[in-house]
Structure 1
């Protein structure tokens, strides 16, 4: 039986009732975003987590970043479990999770930072679970609609961060360009040096800058690489 929770150094994420479980690539994404925001040195951020699921990304950012985080989650089970995860964390006063459709939610402001680990597999085989189809496929949130939403809720000087599978990178590039947004940094991710890229971490804004391209390899010789350890050490128990 799979473990119903994932224990981090400063908080715990229960995910047994969530459609999207805690995964290595999601943890890497959260740690990378926190690292990027920390380097930007803003005194305080207003952050939106679109499709917040278990609350994983919101909790990771709350540990490392000074700011207020709002998550929006469509599915009842994920929403309720994320409320519990946030309430049991040290960051309950800085995170709010809302139940609703991200596309129609009545946002009261624009955000300095928008993050999302969106549905991945628009044309792949579906699960028998409607919840998993919403979480893993874009049954609930299409890619073009996500990018238009980011354009709508992002501050003119803000940044957005997305996690995507390598197979859809050309599609996300096209949608971002159509919406007059720009990709400023792109990090390709491989499981090992022997594997092909399977994820991309994207950073973007309204402003065009020279594109920064980097790579992260998760493991070598069955051990986490130095680059992975540097990012995840503040979070993982045994790093």
Structure 2
């Protein structure tokens, strides 16, 4: 983004104070998740690896969900709590600073969303918090999917963001976790670049998968495409 502020309809985050920076692909994912939930009669949701709370806030803006956010990094969880408290949706958002594997709620969730570690087998950042956020050293793919299965209601839906490099691994990993793809969106940073993200909607019961879709964030001239704009326009300060 070209500025340091991220706008919601009634709320603005100064991303300079965030422990984990706002990214365009993360914003696109949050906007897509929120758009999918507008007309679904879900009542509760879980954000796994919530970071500073951006995904939960985006979903809260567009839905009436009560959201639990779980984040292992203490600094990020503290920032998420502050962002939640200052938002118009504070009564529907709460964060717990814990490992998702140690999280024992009293319910299963209608909706789970997660922007999980990206680079399980690549060189980690020397900064511990950033390394946990972007690498699989804290929570590996199979472990994450097992937690999704454990915490998702039988008729619930989980929304997951992955790097496109994981595409070859995902089929077997999802099958091992007892999860089935309902939707798959392939995201390209621009019309001239290869895919770099996958957005998935998965369920615990076998479902017919909708046709795979492709979304380009920017066109050949470097402008946001209509598809990206339609998702992001309720959030970006200048778009």
> For 2:227 and 2:30, how far apart are their aligned partners in 1?
14
TM-score, normalization by structure 2: 0.93
Aligned to 2:38, the other structure's residue is in SS state helix
- Retained in 1: the 8 A contact 2:141–2:173? yes
Distance in 1 (CA, whole Å) between partners of 2:186 and 2:165 is 12
Aligned to 1:218: 217
C-alpha separation between the residues in 2 aligned to 1:169 and 1:104? 28
Deviations, residues 4-52 of structure 1 (Å, cap 9, x unaligned): 653444323344465531100000000001111114x31x421000010
Aligned partner of residue 124 in structure 1, secondary structure: coil
Aligned partners of 2:13, 2:144: CA distance in 1, in Å? 25
* Secondary structure at the counterpart of residue 103 of structure 1: helix
Contact 1:9 1:236 in 2 (8 A): no
The structure 1 residue matched to 2:189, chosen from 188, 191, 194, is: 191
The aligned runs of 1:86-235 (5 Å cut-off) are: 86-212=84-210, 213-220=212-219, 221-235=221-235
**CA separation in 1, counterparts of 2:82 and 2:103?**
22
What is the alpha-carbon distance in structure 2 between the residues aligned to residue 68 and residue 3 of structure 1?
Answer: 30
- Aligned residues of 1:122 and 1:138 also touching (Cα < 8 A): yes
For residues 191-225 of structure 1, give each alpha carbon's deviation from its aligned partner in whole angstroms, at most 9, with x where no partner exists.
11111000000001012222221011011122111
2-side partners of 1:175 and 1:20: how far apart? 27
**1:82-132 deviations in Å (ceiling 9; x for gaps):** 111111110100001111111111221100001000010011111111111
SS in 1 for 2:36: helix
Structure 1: gaps of 5 or more residues: none
Q: Is the 8 A contact 1:48 1:71 kept in 2?
A: yes
Helix, strand or coil: the match of 2:27?
A: helix
* Whole-Å separation in 2 of the counterparts to 1:222 and 1:185: 27
Query: Number of residue pairs matched?
Result: 236
TM-score, normalization: structure 1?
A: 0.93
Do the aligned partners of 1:45 and 1:112 also contact (CA within 8 Å) in 2? yes
Aligned positions of 1:52-63 closer than 5 A? 52-63=50-61
Runs of 5+ unmatched residues, structure 2: none
Distance 1:234 1:6, change over 3 A: closer
SS, match of residue 224 in structure 1: coil
**Residues 6 and 235 of structure 2 are in contact (CA less than 8 Å); yes or no, is this contact kept in structure 1?**
no
